[in-house]
Amino acid sequence: MKILGSIQETRNLVKEWKAQGLSVALVPTMGYLHEGHKSLMERARKENDKVVVSIFVNPMQFGPNEDLEAYPRDLNRDAKICEAAGVDLIFHPEVSEMYGPDFHGFVDMTVLPEKLCGASRPVHFKGVQTVVTKLFHIIPAQRAYFGQKDAQQLAIIRRMVIDLDFDIEIIGCPIIREEDGLAKSSRNTYLSEEERRQAVILNESLNDAMCAIEAGEKDAAKVKEIITAKLNTCPLAKIDYVEVVSFDNIQPIEKVEGAVLIAIAVYIGTTRLIDNRIIM
Ligand code: AMP
């Protein structure tokens, strides 16, 4: 397995592979890898000849008061996980390699980034779209793998690829959870023991919503009420949002029908966690 920080060297190696007729997969990450990332790598490994994992904590997608500095980083640990998953190349650039002193470009979109995480993190998806565009240009893979954990991000990337004619297939992969149901996240490391215990409330509130929907509930407002009521039983939980939206355009809906995304963001103490259910 190779680890490269240079855009040019990475591009050259991927071009070599493609010239040999090999299929290439990209798994974009911010590192501090866990089983969720591993599931994307393993799926990419099965479906492609070469697997590239990018590890880059992208400053452009963090707001001024967010956790850019605190975000956990450990390249040695990540490299071992990648090696064990059969990854061929880690692309791990410095910030200065990705954003030179005269950098002014960005990619943004209307409508899809406005709601959910975009409402409380106004610069986030502009940063995500810009860095993913750069990664798609540096590593011209046939397929890129994203987790449904970040469902709005997945919807935005899918839309961006269609709208801007990227020649890449976007594969969405299921959420990997801890044994008690908490969605795996690099940010779970911020939680104290008590916060970690209470953080299961996100998944439990979504389970309650799914039970109600399976029992015939179609009213999106009622579904939101069920989730909110459950979250409010948890002393350490502070709701950022609870939303029921169309998975196609991330706009609020009144009836649970068609492709639906139920998405929540909740502070447990000072740590903001997200979770969701997608109904197709
Ligand atoms: P991150 O490093 O948090 O930017 O995540 C990189 C990729 O891994 C994104 O496509 C995430 O959606 C995906 N991912 C993160 N956590 C999970 C999880 N628990 N299950 C599945 N995919 C995940």
Q: Which tens digits make up the pLDDT trace of 16-67?
A: 999 999 999 999 999 999 999 999 999 999 999 999 999 999 999 999 999 9
Residue 228: pLDDT band by 50, 70, 90 thresholds? very high
Cα 87 to Cα 50: distance, rounded to the nearest angstrom: 7
Q: What pLDDT shows up at residue 188?
A: 97
The phi, psi pair for 237, rounded to 5°, reads -90, 130
Tell me what percent of the residues of the chain surpass a pLDDT of 90.
98
- Rounded to the nearest angstrom, the distance between the alpha carbon of 56 and the centre of ligand 1 is 13
pLDDT tens-digit profile of 64-93?
999 999 999 999 999 999 999 999 999 999
The residues lining ligand 1, judged by C-beta closer than 6 Å to any ligand atom, are 29-30, 36-37, 39-40, 146-147, 149-150, 173, 175-176, 183-186
Active-site option among 34, 37, 92, 137: 37
Among 271, 244, 257, smallest CA distance to 186 is for 271
| H/E element, 273 | strand 271-279
pLDDT at 110 over 90: no
Q: What pLDDT shows up at residue 111?
A: 87
User: Taking every pair of C-alpha atoms in the chain, what is the biggest distance, in angstroms?
Assistant: 58
pLDDT at 237 over 90: yes
The phi, psi pair for 111, rounded to 5°, reads 65, -65
- Rounded to the nearest angstrom, the distance between the alpha carbon of 158 and the centre of ligand 1 is 16
Cα torsion 46, 36, 71, 244: sign: positive
Q: What pLDDT shows up at residue 148?
A: 97
- Rounded to the nearest angstrom, the distance between the alpha carbon of 215 and the centre of ligand 1 is 30
User: Mean pLDDT, to the nearest integer, of 218-236?
Assistant: 98
Cα 217 to Cα 113: distance, rounded to the nearest angstrom: 28
